Structure 1
Amino acid sequence: MSGPRKIDIYALTWRLPIILWQLVFFIGPVLFMVAISFFVVKNYRMTEAFEFVNWQRMLTRGFFWDSYWYTLFIASLSATIAMLVAFPAAWALAFRASDNLRRWAVFLLIIPFFTSYLVRTFSWYVILAESGVLNAMLGYIGLGPFRMLNSHFGTIIGYLTLTLPLAVILQTVTMANVDKTLIEAARNLGCKPFATIWRIVLPLSKTGFIVAALFCFILAFGDFVAPFYLGGSQEPTLPILILDTTKSGQQWPRAAVVAIMMMVTLFTVAFTAIALAYRKPKGSKG
């Protein structure tokens, strides 16, 4: 029988900075936010307390659940669109492009992240406005003008600005690692392109695809810029609701309730997605 495991001081020493970082900059603020959610605001001043009035106020109001389900829906929709739009480009880069071209393409896809997301979002004003570039082009063929700003469409475009390059990169890296001989064997056996994708590529790329979709959802779910500036916040998402709540009588405790609900949702989705991504097929061993 083996004795109790000894603590590896060397490994613990190298892990300690990460542990301290998580404690100071993640766990600590989260615990503080949970504590704030039980405080009360009196005369525009936050007072320490332990009352459930903020939770009751937010979770029993229709406007909170309207924002919650709308945010969940539009984040899921944008993640789905990003994955579908990114797939053809990622397929071409993974299976049609040379290694050198693929590296340059990934580099060019990374470049947008070097610039401010707010600046990239504002640039869509010129394109999506009623007198903008896109409506001008549609006008030449007798269409439009269409209202694209301050709408769901504008919000989706903003989300795609944030998530689409990442989706292409992750899908490309995932599919580039698929054994190409399996695809060639499927073709030699008469497997059609769609069947090859469904039976060969997607099962072998499942983990990377789920992780890519998860990142797209997380970024969209917590984004404030796109629904506020391009969507017009006509149907407020949860980040916009947090802003409106803090402006309404300095209700930081109620805003903390919204933030905690967002984090609970994101953790639930993330753990579920990771479990699906790394779940082994039935009948597999090891």
Structure 2
Amino acid sequence: MRPTDRVAAPADLAATLAGVRALLLDMDGVLVGKGEPIRGAPEALVRLEAAGIPYRLVTNTSLASRSTLARHLARAGMTIPPERIVSAASASAAYAARVFPGGRLYVLASADARTEFDGSGLRLLRHEEVDRGEPADAVAVGDSTEELTYANLNRAFRLIMDGAVLLAMHKNRWWLTPEGRTLDSGAMVAGLEFATERRARIVGKPSRAFFRAGFDGLAAEVHAAGGARFHHGEVAMVGDDLWNDIFGAQRAGFRGILVLTGKHSRADAVRAAARARGGGRPDAISPSIVEVAAALAG
């Protein structure tokens, strides 16, 4: 018997999800944790598929391309093609191509993540080109321990001071790795904002545009299959991060379901609800994606 076959959804979760026809799913903390599949997650996706509930993976991960993410998920027992993934890196490439067509970008991200910019018509500046004084339309900052060095951040600082726009693939403070809590690139973005006195344009979660990209992909898939159109209120975001996943999704018009298999706990949710400014409440809290699938699939 599979884990999802014997899990019943809590009554309050089932009530909150009533009328939901599609899902936006985070990756880290929902499907995988510390590099390993979360218990029951592969079976939960199978259950959603069998029930005809479409979903999109929306992740702030910017260490890897969508193709690489799909391969990693497949090794963990989850078959999600790259076209069903919206990542902070892919969204940044699409945004930059739209706002700076044919422009020059200085991208601080892994070599694999930078492949998302292939075919965008954008020119990615090399470090030595920046050192020669070549200007940039924008600086895009993602994840990469090799790229987020003092020297490269200083190059980014100079470009921004000379007029380049600062694009943050995301602004996460930290994330969970096999080694434990790990500083994320949001700290570097915040440092550049402080030094340059310029505010970054956040492309990934919690930006409304990022959630809309996931919704648009879902809507197109359902329409192509001949299904009835649905609206934002019929979509729920399932995530482990209160600020980026849950409250960001709610501001974009979706329901927000917090799962307790990743970054934030029930106690964190209580503290967030008590904040005078910037806080909020998830629409529901679920132990994991397993119970969400059980509530939707019946």
Higher share in strand: 2
Q: Does the TM-score normalized on the shorter chain lie above 0.5?
A: no
Output the TM-score relative to the length of structure 1.
0.25
